[in-house]
């Protein structure tokens, strides 16, 4: 049994951060690589986290006036071709469907040459074009605007280099698409959703971010402006955690999305799109993980309290189990973050010590251990995942069962707040603010660019003047 996932615990000083990340993803039972290159299998614990993210974000999207719908996975090649920048941006990474039938030829199953599609279909890398096509039919009048749509879907981008959650060939996301009568309204929408993402990330994921505009070279293909929220990972690097785009009239012009204004004149709509993806799970790992594995913010923990009975194969086991069942039932009647507390009794027939560590690695916020002595004294013994260790020792707490049950909602809130505070402190204290020009910037990051071994020094971020509108000269700035 490994005792820790890496040797050091200092932020920014993990000897091999990417390796640590992969270990946590595996040990926390979040996901595993699939037989298909670049794609992953999201396991129940990881998918449970995604479902909770979805649920909360979906509510926010609806509260801001958007309706969900679903557009097809396949997009006609000609649709993509309509917007020049869009083509240029995505052409290199598209999966293409060319046949609709397999045939056994020379003992080998292969696409039937006679079943070739007249027009190839591409697997959506994003849905601007196919949704725009629908918008062009749905929108006639200024009374149809704004049109506010969202979809939860999978998309495919044939990436050269993939990492679980952070960049996979196929990933899950939501993509919002809206159409507006003028630039001002569309820009308002773009910034509104950026703010939705910021608040969601900070309050639900406990992941502080910096919202801002991306430089021209980092813009979404076909956008006039791209905004993002950026989070700082424990290696000091930035993770683009969500984007919101003002698309101007580019897609409207390419796809003829027009409306008649109150004067009877036809004009092009201004559109937006915005999305967050399963990458957020990777962000949570790299924000909150430690040497013992994952630490999940309670708001997105599929199980917030896990009860591990200390069974010894003796008659008193029955009492222990009965006590635990009652405890879980009472916990499930409590409310935290506006929902029932998610509690689990882990009865799997393995050693209880191993069970405990499984839940530690998965990041369950509260882990409760119940033995005969607890039952006799009506106590619970528990650990808080966000504050697991006292030096090398595991910090174990004891409390009367009634008080514990009543305290769980408050403790979950505290854990959520503590995780946020730790990350926020890290973010704030690792932004260097006294860099004034490109020379100082190069000097600060210095050798980092020439590094080719694992030991990349922790540099954090730099706040520096920005050479708008291109940002090209300063693009090594780290954010």
Partner RNA sequence: CGGGGCGUGGCGCAGCCUGGUAGCGCAUCUGGUUUGGGACCAGAGGGUCGCGUGUUCGAAUCACGCCGCCCCGACCA
Q: Which residues bind RNA (CB under 7 A)?
A: 1-4, 18-19, 21-22, 33, 37-38, 89, 157, 159-163, 166-168, 171, 173, 217-218, 220, 228, 240-243, 275-279, 292, 310, 312-314, 350-354, 356-357, 360-361, 369-376, 381, 394, 396, 398, 451-452, 454, 456, 476
CB of 167 within 8 A of CB of 173? no
Q: Under DSSP, is residue 296 helix (H, G, I), strand (E, B) or coil?
A: coil
Facing residues of 379 across strands?
400
CB of 372 to RNA, least distance (A): 5
Cα separation, 363 vs 383, in Å, equals: 11
Q: Which residue has the tokens 């909150």?
A: 288
Quote the least distance from Cβ 448 to RNA, whole Å: 7
Q: Which is nearer to RNA, 7 or 115 (CB)?
A: 7
Instruction: Give the integer Cα–Cα distance in Å for 43 and 45.
Output: 6
**What does the alpha-carbon distance between residue 117 and residue 186 come to, in Å, rounded to a whole number?**
38
Nearest distance from residue 374's CB to RNA, in Å? 4
Between 21 and 246, name the residue whose CB sits nearer to RNA: 21
For the CB of residue 127, give the shortest distance to RNA in the complex, in Å. Answer: 13
In this complex, which beta carbon is closest to RNA, that of residue 9 or of residue 140?
9
311: Cβ contacts below 8 Å, ≥ 6 apart: 317, 320, 321, 352
Residue closer to RNA by CB (options 21, 259) is: 21
Separation of alpha carbons 213 and 222, rounded Å: 15
Minimum Å gap between C-beta 249 and RNA is: 19
Minimum CB–partner distance for residue 377 and RNA (Å): 7
Please state the closest distance from residue 452 (CB atom) to RNA, in A: 5
> Degrees (nearest 5) of the Cα angle 135, 139, 145?
105
Q: What is the largest CA-CA distance in the chain?
A: 85
Rg of the chain over Cα atoms, rounded to whole angstroms, equals 26
Nearer to RNA, 136 or 381 (CB): 381
Start-to-end CA distance of the chain, whole Å, equals: 39
| CB crowding 189-208: b at 16 or more within 10 Å, else e | bbbbbbebbbebbbebbbbb
- Residue closer to RNA by CB (options 76, 372) is 372
Q: What are phi and psi of 389, to 5 degrees?
A: -115, 150
> What is the rounded distance in angstroms from the CA atom of residue 478 to the CA atom of residue 357?
36
Compare residues 129 and 139 and give the one whose CB is closer to RNA. Answer: 129
What's the closest the beta carbon of residue 378 comes to RNA, in angstroms?
Answer: 11
Specify the residue, 139 or 189, whose C-beta has the smaller distance to RNA.
189
């Amino acid at each position: 049994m490994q005792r820790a996932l890496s040797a050091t615990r200092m932020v920014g000083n993990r000897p091999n951060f990417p390796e640590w990340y992969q270990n946590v993803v595996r040990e926390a039972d979040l996901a595993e690589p699939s037989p298909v290159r670049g794609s992953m299998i999201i396991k129940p614990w990881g998918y449970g986290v995604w479902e909770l993210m979805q649920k909360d974000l979906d509510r926010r999207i609806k509260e801001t006036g958007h309706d969900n719908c679903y557009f097809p996975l396949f997009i006609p090649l000609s649709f993509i071709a309509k917007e020049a920048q869009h083509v240029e941006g995505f052409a290199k990474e598209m999966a293409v469907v060319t046949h609709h039938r397999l045939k056994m030829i020379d003992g080998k199953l292969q696409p039937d040459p006679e079943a070739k599609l007249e027009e190839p279909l591409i697997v959506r890398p994003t849905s601007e074009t196919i949704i725009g096509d629908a918008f062009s039919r749905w929108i006639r009048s200024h009374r149809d605007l704004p049109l506010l749509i969202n979809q939860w879907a999978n998309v495919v981008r044939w990436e050269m280099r993939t990492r679980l959650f952070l960049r996979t060939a196929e990933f899950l996301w939501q993509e919002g698409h809206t159409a507006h009568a003028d630039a001002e309204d569309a820009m308002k929408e773009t910034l509104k959703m950026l703010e939705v993402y910021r608040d969601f990330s900070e309050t639900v994921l406990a992941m502080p971010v910096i919202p801002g505009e991306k430089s021209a070279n980092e813009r979404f293909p076909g956008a006039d402006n791209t905004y993002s929220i950026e989070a700082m990972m424990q290696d000091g690097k930035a993770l683009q955690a969500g984007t919101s785009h003002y698309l101007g009239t580019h897609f409207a012009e390419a796809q003829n999305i027009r409306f008649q204004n109150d004067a009877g004149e036809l004009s092009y709509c201004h559109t937006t799109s915005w999305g967050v993806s399963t990458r957020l799970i990777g962000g949570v790992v790299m924000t909150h993980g430690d040497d013992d594995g994952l630490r999940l913010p309670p708001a997105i923990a599929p199980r917030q309290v896990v009860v591990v009975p200390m069974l010894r194969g003796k008659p008193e086991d029955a009492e222990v189990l009965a006590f635990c069942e009652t405890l879980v039932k009472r916990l499930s009647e409590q409310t935290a973050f506006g929902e029932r507390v998610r509690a689990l009794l882990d009865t799997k027939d393995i050693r209880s010590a191993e069970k405990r560590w499984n839940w530690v690695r998965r990041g369950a916020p509260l882990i409760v251990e119940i033995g005969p002595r607890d039952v006799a004294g009506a106590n619970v013994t528990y650990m808080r995942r966000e504050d697991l260790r006292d030096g090398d020792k595991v910090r174990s707490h004891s409390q009367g069962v009634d008080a514990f049950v009543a305290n769980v909602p408050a403790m979950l809130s505290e854990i959520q707040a503590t995780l946020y505070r730790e990350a926020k402190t890290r973010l704030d204290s690792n932004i260097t603010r006294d860099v004034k020009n490109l020379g100082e910037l190069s000097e600060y990051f210095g050798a980092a660019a020439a590094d080719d071994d694992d030991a990349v020094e922790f540099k954090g971020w730099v706040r520096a003047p920005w050479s708008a509108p291109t940002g090209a000269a300063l693009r090594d700035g780290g954010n």
